[in-house]
Structure 1
Amino acid sequence: MVDVFKGMKLKWVLLSTSRNHVLKKNNKNGVLKEEIRYFELSFHKKNREMVLGSYLPYLLQKGKEIKEKNKTLKLHTVDYNGTDYWGSINLDHPASFDTMAMDPAVKTALIEDLDRFSRRREFYRRVGKAWKRGYLLYGQPGTGKSSLVAAMANYLKFDVYDLDLKEIQCNSDLRRLLIGTGNGSIIVIEDIDTSLDSAEDDKVTLSGLLNFIDGLWSSCGDERIIVFTTNHKDRLDPVLLRPGRMDMHLHMSYCTFSGFKTLASNYLRIQDHQLFDEIKGWLDKVQATPAAVAGELMKCEDPNVALRGLIKWFHNRANTEMQDGSLNIK
């Protein structure tokens, strides 16, 4: 195959050779013949510096991009019978930033932060810090915290490691689990406010978790993201909240009108409707999670029926909250 790079002509040839391996079995010798295939690159000697300095790095980068594009993401869970205490399945979650019904400003800030993190390998080495980043996702159940983790994984092409602290027997096991995670991965610790509540003397401790997050063991690997989720940020120990552990705090809010429009586009494939103004008014009065709104939109494919059903749901929700005195006017 002939390739041309910046006016330079290069030739690739696929070659094959064989190698014999001597095998011993039952005091008898056997020979196993192995075929080795490889490419040979040839070019004019005057282009040597360009090939080594530009062409080969370009090929390696392109190869990495193709590999990441075709990568099958994995969801890993704690399994004491698995390799390095991890078991895995394919991660087929379809969530993306385009489908996330969240505050646009928060979404943009997160994407920019992820992009900055992924390209700063040399920066982290220069300042003497482990190449990792911590995020705290907090908000009521149904606001999309788990879906956002999947969207982050799909965006970065990172495997996800679901770390349930209540399943871990001791701090040393926690360190082994950390060592077993691959580079370019997202470690998820959900419901961090309750994960350590029932910790016994032989279970994971807060100090063990802190060493896991930013102690010496945290430098065993590159390009790692740790995501914590909680429904109650106010219950977290302040030592967990500081930069270096939870670098960015993201509030997953109740459904806003912009979030509703994203859901309407996802579920009903509409960008506008005559009932949108009425729904905006309800969203200004009644707190509803994106999951609750999506659940109503899923009930019918006809936009008119689905939106009227959502308005009826808002009406019933408001009446219920007025009766028990819990209506929260924004």
Structure 2
Amino acid sequence: MSSDGSGSGSYGRYFTMAASATAAVMLLRTVVSELLPDEVGELLRAAARGVRARVSSRHTVVIDEAEGLSANQLYDAARTYLAARVTPDVPRLRASRVDDAQGITVGMEQGEGMVDAHDGVDYTWTLVVSRDATASRAAGAAARRDKAARPEAKSFEVSFHRRHKDKALGSYLPHVVATAKAINDRQRSLKMHMVEYDVWTAVDLRHPSTFDTLAMDDKLKSSVIEDLQRFVRRKDYYRRIGRAWKRGYLLYGPPGTGKSSLVAAMANFLKFDIYDLELTEVKSNSDLRRLLVKTSNRSILVVEDIDCSIELQQRDEGERRATASAGEENDDKVTLSGLLNSVDGLWSTSGEERIIVFTTNYRERLDPALLRPGRMDMHIHMGYCTPESFRILARNYHSVENHVMYPEIEQLIQEVMVSPAEVAEVLMRNDNSDVVLQDLLEFLKEKRKQSGQSKDANENGD
């Protein structure tokens, strides 16, 4: 009995000592966190990490949320990558949704970890959230009094066996970045940016136009698609030849021929945001440069009806020399040279993988300086409706591949100047395909009667 009592007493003393040690550790953490200056606390934590590093067989890579004033792209990539790989083994998750068009995003909660296997190596990820001592000092005494008010510093820590360091840095982290980019390309909501009060304002881009639905001749459509695909895969090529990674497209043709729809189809095809630049809303060349510098990579800058936006009409050589001698670069307004420098000069190198699109109804009104290769690399004529584009519209609006009235309708379309927009408007008038095709036939006959100019003559004049 006495021995049992002695054993119970030993266990009791053991638990008392353990509880005291735990309490001491908690007290020490509290002292470090609450009483010692941030600098001293960080030094103690750094020393502890150093001791752990010397005795551990594992390496840890810390990926901070920000690098100075800039966002850390690797942190964003890790967050996206891990959100797609969260498993039920993680006990605490963080869920969010910021866009009605997107699903619920799930990620790790603070302090939680998960293991990801790649190429035969296990990598352990942990989300760490701490108070930013640097930001706290900048916030002043009030922030030091209120720990909860201090800015948070977030980071991911990925640890692995030290013998896999080269594989982690040379293979695994690039794999994380590439996978995250593919996920974002599939899931992200495209944005349309417009100028309001001298800054870009974004709204969701929900234009449904695609190359499948675009009323455009297949040969021309295929050439545009091939050009876009070639552009996006030539990053190394542009760098090797010393040119900015950008490409310019001029879309020209009569109103209603699908220029805006083609821009939307390009954006949906590439998953690029659109920046709709209304030059009449821009006050000066310096404002123009500031706006263009703030456009993102993988974007399309659109200047619609450029011939109507500002005075960029063609000038003869004498006028060019006179303007140059007078100093055309007037910063009190947007000038031709200011626009050219922004889209083709040193300012154009502030980003990469960008597309610039000018649209116009009258190509002949534009200054040749705007049209040369390197500024507008591909000129795309958006012409009147053709039999091929009519069939695309009929299939889009009525799911009709063929009809007894097609031969007569197509013959009339070859004879008269009718835009795809006009044909689409007629096709929307009725849900009955027989009725609507008869309406279109009558519309085309009336248009031929009223027209005094042949379609060929008009299109050859462009």
Aligned to 2:176: 59
Determine helix, strand or coil for the equivalent of 2:431: coil
Q: Is the 8 A contact 2:124 2:160 kept in 1?
A: no
When structure 1 is superposed on structure 2, of 198-207 and 235-244 the one drifting more is 198-207
What's the TM-score once normalised by structure 2's chain length? 0.64
Aligned to 1:174: 288
Indicate whether 1:278 and 2:391 are aligned.
no
Number of residue pairs matched by the alignment: 323
Q: What is the distance in 1 between the residues matched to 2:129 and 2:276?
A: 45
Shift, 1:27, TM fit: 9.7
Shift, 1:196, TM fit: 2.3
Q: Equivalent of 1:30, from 141, 146, 158?
A: 146
Aligned to 1:96: 210
Indicate whether 1:12 and 2:124 are aligned.
yes
Counterparts in 2 of 1:1-330, with a 5 A limit?
A: 1=114, 3-6=116-119, 8-14=120-126, 16=128, 18-19=130-131, 29-32=145-148, 41-43=158-160, 47-80=164-197, 85-197=199-311, 202-321=332-451, 325-328=452-455
Q: What is the distance in 1 between the residues matched to 2:456 and 2:281?
A: 41
What's the TM-score once normalised by structure 1's chain length? 0.88
- Amino acid corresponding to residue 122 of structure 2 in structure 1: L
- Amino acid corresponding to residue 242 of structure 2 in structure 1: G
Q: 1:329 to 1:13 in 2, by over 3 A?
A: closer
Q: Is the 8 A contact 1:131 1:222 kept in 2?
A: yes
Shift, 1:14, TM fit: 4.0
When structure 1 is superposed on structure 2, of 39-48 and 214-223 the one drifting more is 39-48
Q: Is the 8 A contact 1:187 1:224 kept in 2?
A: yes
Shift, 1:118, TM fit: 1.0
Q: 1:272 to 1:50 in 2, by over 3 A?
A: farther
Determine helix, strand or coil for the equivalent of 1:240: helix
Q: What is the distance in 1 between the residues matched to 2:312 and 2:152?
A: 57
- Counting aligned pairs with the same residue, the percent is 50
Q: Is the 8 A contact 1:95 1:154 kept in 2?
A: yes
Q: Deviations over 1:113-160 (max 9, x none)?
A: 111111111211111111111100000000000111111111111111
Q: Which runs of 5+ in 2 are unaligned?
A: 1-113, 314-327, 458-462
Determine which structure has the larger helix proportion and give its number: 2
Determine which structure has the larger strand proportion and give its number: 1
Shift, 1:194, TM fit: 2.2
- Amino acid corresponding to residue 235 of structure 2 in structure 1: R
Question: Bigger relative contact order, structure 1 or 2, given CA contacts below 8 A and separation 6+?
Answer: 1
Aligned-residue CA RMSD (Å): 2.6
Q: Is the 8 A contact 1:78 1:162 kept in 2?
A: yes
Shift, 1:54, TM fit: 2.8
Q: Which runs of 5+ in 1 are unaligned?
A: none
Determine helix, strand or coil for the equivalent of 2:418: coil
Q: Deviations over 1:36-78 (max 9, x none)?
A: 7765545555554444333332221111111122212111112
Q: Is the 8 A contact 1:139 1:253 kept in 2?
A: yes
